[in-house]
Amino acid sequence: MSCSSEDKNCETPRRNAALIVLVLMAVIFLVLSAFSFVDSRGQVTPDQISYKGFSADEGKRVFQAYNCMGCHTIVGNGAYLGPDLTKEYKHAGPAWLEAFLPSAGSWPTAAAVRTHLATPEQLALAEAASWDDYLAKYPGSGERIERRGGQPTHMPNLAFREGEVAKLIAFLKYTSAMDNEGWPPAILSGDLQRRLALAGGAQAAAPATSSAAAPGAAAPAVAADPVKQGEQLVASLGCVACHATDASRKVGPGWGGVYGHEVELADGSKVKADKDYLRDSILKPNAQVVAGFPAGVMPSYEGQLKDDELDAVVAYLASLSDKKEQP
């Protein structure tokens, strides 16, 4: 028996069917609503992740404040000028990020990254036992050092305030720990040699190994000319990514014309930039911060340079001044 549109005997079954569908939809809605309140379903949450005492939420605010999504994506959301940063921490590690972010206009060298692994505390933050262990744990770090170390980038140097780099790393640590369930899809094009060949047949770079030079070994054996040796050292350490050799401002103050002159400090005092001041600025950069620049950006090179290497760097910095006196 079929029901026609004018058959009143069919109204009750139709009404009942509509009510059943309505109840079923209500049940589905309630179940899905309850499911949305289940704690993370095994997914990591921002409150579980921190770096140097800063939370992932604090890092997210820094990420938003500098409009990083204007160039980058997180889980595929954002702009596509720069690479997706979802797994950046897992790929490159905190020491590489610490070396890169404050002076993003230049790719960090091996010496610059190793400076951020100089103490047991810093190794613990990276969850690595040694430099070799770090390269094995974060393979992208060694690959980038080998292929790009010391070269310029397309990213500008950002004027981070104290603590903002660590906050940003906390956020990237969180996104790396997320289970993004395969989104965005990975681009698979083979190993490094194949990718370089696809890009135009460029010669493949050998993978980075534990033979990467330490900061103190970045320059050749002690040069006869300490100024030349100092120039080689600051280049290999990546110092020129943050400092200009003239008086212009970059991430840090320019070196030109500093030696022998008065420098105004953040506390309003002034100090003469003599040999001792330059040495202290290299070994304890946060002890006397130059006015107009944030503390906590430059790492300490204490224990990273031998005495003769430190003297060579100071001699080079002094050579950039118009003062005749040499340290």
203-251 pLDDT, tens digit each: 444 444 444 445 444 444 445 799 999 999 988 888 888 898 998 888 8
In the chain, CATH 1.10.760.10 covers 217-319
pLDDT of residue 13: 81
Does domain 46-178 match CATH 1.10.760? yes
CA distance 278 to 284: 10
Task: Return the minimum-mean-pLDDT range out of 86-95, 99-108, 223-232, 263-272.
Answer: 223-232
Sequence-separated (6 or more) residues with CB below 8 Å from residue 219:
229, 232, 233, 236, 309, 312
Q: Are 320 and 273 in contact (CB under 8 A)?
A: no
Enter the tokens of residue 262.
Answer: 């008065």
pLDDT of residue 280: 93
The pLDDT tens digits of the residues spanning 19-72 come to 999 999 999 999 888 877 766 567 888 999 999 999 999 999 999 999 999 999
- Per the model's pLDDT, the better-predicted residue between 3 and 225 turns out to be 225
DSSP 107: P
Q: Which amino acid is at 277?
A: Y
- What's the CATH superfamily of 217-319? Cytochrome c-like domain (1.10.760.10)
Mean pLDDT to the nearest integer, 260-279:
92
Number of other CB atoms surrounding residue 140 within 10 Å: 16
pLDDT band, very low/low/confident/very high, at 80 (cuts 50, 70, 90) = confident
Q: Give, for 235, the enclosing helix (H) or strand (E).
A: helix 226-236
CA distance 327 to 311: 8
Mean pLDDT to the nearest integer, 182-205:
60
CA distance 221 to 223: 6
